[in-house]
Amino acid sequence: MTAQPPAADRRGDDGLRGRDDPGGREFRGWTALHGGVTPSALVRLWLRGVQRLATAGPLARIPPDVLSALGVVVAAGAVAAASAGGRWPLAAAGLVVLVGVLDGLDGAVALHTGRARPLGAVVDAVADRAGDLLMAATLASLGAPAAWCVAAAALVMLHEYLRARAGAAGMSGVGAVTVAERPTRLALVAVACLGAGALPAGTPLTGWDWATVSAVAWVVVGTAGFVHLCLGVARTTPQRFPGGLPGTPQDPAAQDPAQDPAQVRPR
């Protein structure tokens, strides 16, 4: 929700302009909100499903910011369910999947109703980071060592802080789409919840704790993703600030007027 693209075409077809058109409004809008990233075939399939949900009457009337906040509430519910033990982690897995749905639904509703705005992007980002922390807490509730959970959460914050700062410095786009993006993190937590609820004795053959395996995998994937993002940021961030810094030789206002024809006055 970082831009104000046009609302979806409402001339039928569930609010989409061509379900099979990869250049349709829903894909162009998603690309605009994600720094110019072109959606893959799998993402396009996901977008179609989310857009159909977004066009449903009751959901379309919910403000996107409320959907973002609801994702945080659902993530907190996953922590509570994971802490209950027994078969409750299975319910936690369903809540984690719902978090992912809400994560895409807030932006889809914003696009469909024409309510996408910069402040909404801020709300969405804050809600996502709060949800990430709660996902790490879910793994801890399932029995993963606290050190691994803290490391996983720290990598997420570092990953997103680097992207945000590079964007503020003039980086175009998102730097890189890494293996450690949010869908991967949600999938790891959902697997841990499913495993803990269905096979509490541990992973097949090894008997390793599901939550620990997922936490370690999160850290490994997060480290690889952070390295990938660093390379992408170094490649796409401009070498100079646009227009130069005030008081530096690159600042147009600090240049010698004699070198600027616009500043030369007739004698």
Distance, in Å, from the CA atom of 227 to the CA atom of 238, rounded to the nearest integer, reads 19
Mean pLDDT, residues 223-230 taken together: 97
Closest CA to 139 of 188, 198, 101: 188
Residue 52 belongs to domain spanning: 13-240
In contact, 196 and 88? CB cutoff 8 Å = no
CATH number at residue 26: 1.20.120.1760
Q: Write down the mean pLDDT value for the chain.
A: 83
Do the domain assignments include residue 249?
Answer: no
% residues pLDDT > 90 (the chain): 55
Digit-coded pLDDT (tens) for 162-181: 999 999 999 988 899 899 99
Do the domain assignments include residue 263?
Answer: no
Digit-coded pLDDT (tens) for 14-45: 333 333 443 456 567 667 666 667 766 777 77
Digit-coded pLDDT (tens) for 172-209: 888 998 999 999 999 999 999 999 999 999 999 899 99
The answer to whether residue 13 is catalytic is no
Do the domain assignments include residue 133?
Answer: yes
**pLDDT value at residue 164:** 93
CA distances, 3 to each of 92, 132, 166 (Å): 33, 24, 18
List the catalytic residue out of 128, 251, 256, 260: 128
Closest CA to 93 of 112, 79, 103: 79
Q: At residue 261, does pLDDT exceed 80?
A: no
Indicate if the alpha-carbon torsion angle 5, 62, 50, 10 is positive or negative: negative
Do the domain assignments include residue 256?
Answer: no
Do the domain assignments include residue 267?
Answer: no
Q: What is the pTM of this model?
A: 0.80
Distance, in Å, from the CA atom of 5 to the CA atom of 33, rounded to the nearest integer, reads 9
